[in-house]
Chains A and B, each alone.
Chain A
Amino acid sequence: MNKAFPILGILTALLLSYALYQALDVAPTEQTMGDVQRIFYYHVPSAWTAFILFTVNFVASLVYLFRRNPASDIVALVSAEVGVVFCTIVLVTGPIWARPVWGIWWTWDMRLTSTLVLWLIYISYLVLRRFSSSGETPILAATLAIFGALCVPFVYFSIWFFRTQHPQPVIGGGGSIDPRMLHVLLINWLAFSCFALLICWSRYRLEELQREVEQAHALESLTQSPRSSR
């Protein structure tokens, strides 16, 4: 791996620590919800990061379908996998926040249900990639990814089009936010984005190496089979 990786790793860890300090100590306490509202600083940046990663997956899948470029196939796989990690965090922190605020862990409203459906689509994408050994797997996965990506704008705009318990978006929506809270939110998003980028980078390298090893294994078995048949 590149020598810059450990340095970037340390810088990201420092940024994440600073973002945590900002979220827990510097951000003002919300008047009605109190301290529990600070879940917002992890919940919302995780959702934004997941959406960006699923969009990257969509673009890489399209590129793969048109050009059959192996690098774009790896980018698609990596972005979906890391996107699922962030989407899992959204689905876990959401109910933990909802319980003290709404009095329930879960409700089948459009935003929550569509997020769960989005997560299930990308889980099925990863299951397909993991367990299908057909040579057509990357093409099938890329097609599935395009349908999955159609769900992303639906999840984002569902709170505009449907009556839902979920609050309005803080940026570009009907909601409003204290500038100090917005500042902390953006710092946390930057920290989580850097973290996601680093994970994607190492996962990309891992996948590349894995494919090289698989090719070497295939080559080895090809060169050994005439010897064993003699």
Chain B
Amino acid sequence: MNGYLIAAYAATWIIHIAYLASLMRRYSRLKHDIEELKRAQT
């Protein structure tokens, strides 16, 4: 298969996966914040 084709498809999925990973990181940080808030309220 053509090297440029592989590079383009790989780049597409690397960008999508990097963005999804950043979303998951933000989710886990938010979850931690919510737990801290709950602890502070009790």
Please state if B11 and A213 are interface contacts (CB–CB under 8 Å): no
Binds B, one of A93-101, A121-129, A169-177: A93-101
Please state if A36 and B5 are interface contacts (CB–CB under 8 Å): yes
A165 sits at the interface (CB 8 A): no
Q: Interface residue tally of chain B, by bracket?
A: 20 to 34
Please state if B15 and A97 are interface contacts (CB–CB under 8 Å): no
Question: Least Cβ distance of A150 to chain B in Å?
Answer: 26
Please state if A89 and B12 are interface contacts (CB–CB under 8 Å): yes
> What is the interface of chain B, defined by CB distance below 8 A to chain A?
1-2, 4-5, 7-9, 11-12, 15-16, 19-20, 23, 26-27, 30, 33-34, 37, 40-41
State the main secondary structure of chain A at its contact with B. helix
| Cβ contacts under 8 Å, A209 to chain B | 30, 34
Please state if A213 and B16 are interface contacts (CB–CB under 8 Å): no
* Nearest CB in chain A to that of B37: its residue: A216
Contact among B1, B4, B26, B33 with A97 in the assembled complex (CB-CB below 8 Å): B4
Please state if B19 and A199 are interface contacts (CB–CB under 8 Å): yes
| Cβ contacts under 8 Å, A195 to chain B | 16
Please state if B4 and A99 are interface contacts (CB–CB under 8 Å): yes
Please state if A35 and B1 are interface contacts (CB–CB under 8 Å): yes
Please state if B8 and A199 are interface contacts (CB–CB under 8 Å): no
A220 sits at the interface (CB 8 A): yes
Known contacts A96-B4, A202-B23, then 16 further A-B pairs from the complex at CB < 8 Å, ordered by chain A residue: A24-B1, A34-B2, A35-B5, A36-B2, A38-B2, A38-B5, A39-B5, A39-B8, A42-B9, A46-B12, A89-B11, A92-B15, A93-B11, A97-B8, A206-B23, A206-B30
* Nearest CB in chain B to that of A84: its residue: B19
Per the bound structure, the CA–CA distance linking A36 and B3 in Å amounts to 8
* Nearest CB in chain A to that of B16: its residue: A85
Interface string of A66-101 (1 = CB under 8 A from B): 000000000000000000010011001100110110
